[in-house]
Amino acid sequence: MLNSSTMQATAALAPGPDLNAQQRRERRRDWLHHHIGFAPMTGIGPEEIDAHFAGMPARYWDCASETEIIWGLKTIHKFLYELASPESSGTTPVLDARHFPEQGLTQLMLCTWDRHGLLAKVAGALSALRINILQADVYTRADGIVLDIFQVCEREGCHISDASRLEEIRFLLEGALSEPPRFASVWACSRHKNLPHAHYAPPTIRFDTSTSFESTVVIVEAGDRLGLLHDILTGLTEAGVNVCHAVINTTESTARDTFYVATKDGEKITEPGALNEIRFRVTEAIVS
């Protein structure tokens, strides 16, 4: 139980109504840091907690709950622990899952090192297993550790109830992210390229540079097919942008996907030439 001085300190850090957006974000981060510090986790020392709160991108603190932050700390701790093992390849990711059957989805948390095209590789692995991505949140810490959170479901619209499915995801992801990548994972993640596709109209790609303060919003509308998300993300990677947040929506065989993107330096993209490059790369990836 917290004493009166601790309660006063916690109250002083709590977000207030008279702060601007940046101040509220910083105050919320500090409040969560202070609060989680009073509930130490087995095996996770203060230095790991401090590194997490100091290194995660600012937008992480907008909506991360205390439960999600603790989940993230435990996942990163496991990744670092396995990395220190003599048998570690240095590239093996850690994947954990939480299930929400009443919502028809499973939440996946992936921890690994940041690398080129990571999100496209994840999408390829999930697509190969016929698992739908509903939403993706991508966070890269200052030390290069990636903590990605995905909301996924089976094609039937239910959560992943079979533990063997998670092992299949782990197998493909480990192979796709190894150096060099395993042939089985490369083949599985790209085999949709060799399948016949129905003829679709060219994709529609729109940009919104006003809704988000930090990101450029890219809206892609295209005929849905196996591997479409993988191809869109590959196009975004080839355009040299980072995806921060993605919302995937498919209705009546049409995908209307929204991506919040920024430069590799975290800057918003507004220059017409850069936007045209994104349009060209994504269109080429979809139709090729």
Is 127 in the same domain as 169? yes
φ, ψ (nearest 5 deg) of residue 217: -95, 125
- The set of residues, in sequence order, having a beta carbon less than 8 Å from that of 261 and lying 6+ positions away, is 215, 216, 217, 218, 236, 241, 242, 243, 244, 269, 278
> Are 112 and 146 in contact, with CB atoms under 8 Å apart?
yes
Q: Is residue 98 part of a domain?
A: yes
Q: Is residue 177 part of a domain?
A: yes
The pLDDT score that the predictor gives to residue 175 is: 92
Q: Is residue 125 part of a domain?
A: yes
Is 18 in the same domain as 38? yes
Of 66-70, 149-153, 186-190, 265-269, minimum mean pLDDT range? 186-190
Block residue for tokens 């810490």: 141
3-state secondary structure of 10: helix
Q: Is residue 85 part of a domain?
A: no
Q: Which of 32, 48, 76 is the last residue before a domain boundary?
A: 76
Q: Is residue 81 part of a domain?
A: no
Q: pLDDT category, 9, cuts 50, 70, 90? A: very low
DSSP labels, 195-210: S-----PPPEEEEESS
Is 188 in the same domain as 208? no
pLDDT in tens, 98-107: 999 999 999 9
> Are 27 and 62 in contact, with CB atoms under 8 Å apart?
no
Is 107 in the same domain as 45? no
The pLDDT score that the predictor gives to residue 154 is: 94
CATH number of the domain enclosing 151: 3.30.70.260
Q: Which of 162, 194, 226 is the last residue before a domain boundary?
A: 194
pLDDT above 70 for 3: no
Is 65 in the same domain as 132? no
> Are 239 and 282 in contact, with CB atoms under 8 Å apart?
yes
Is 241 in the same domain as 155? no
C-alpha count within 13 angstroms, C-beta hemisphere, residue 196: 1
Is 134 in the same domain as 211? no
Is 115 in the same domain as 46? no
Q: Is residue 86 part of a domain?
A: no
Is 120 in the same domain as 182? yes
Q: Is residue 173 part of a domain?
A: yes
- The set of residues, in sequence order, having a beta carbon less than 8 Å from that of 245 and lying 6+ positions away, is 135, 136, 137, 138, 215, 259, 260
Q: How many domains does the chain have?
A: 3
The pLDDT score that the predictor gives to residue 201 is: 76
Q: pLDDT category, 88, cuts 50, 70, 90? A: confident
Question: What type of residue sits at position 133?
Answer: I
Q: pLDDT category, 251, cuts 50, 70, 90? A: confident
The predicted model scores a pTM of: 0.86
Q: Is residue 199 part of a domain?
A: no
Mean pLDDT for the stretch of residues 81-110: 91
- The set of residues, in sequence order, having a beta carbon less than 8 Å from that of 277 and lying 6+ positions away, is 239, 240
Is 190 in the same domain as 209? no
pLDDT above 50 for 8: no
3-state secondary structure of 105: strand
Range of the domain at 280: 204-287
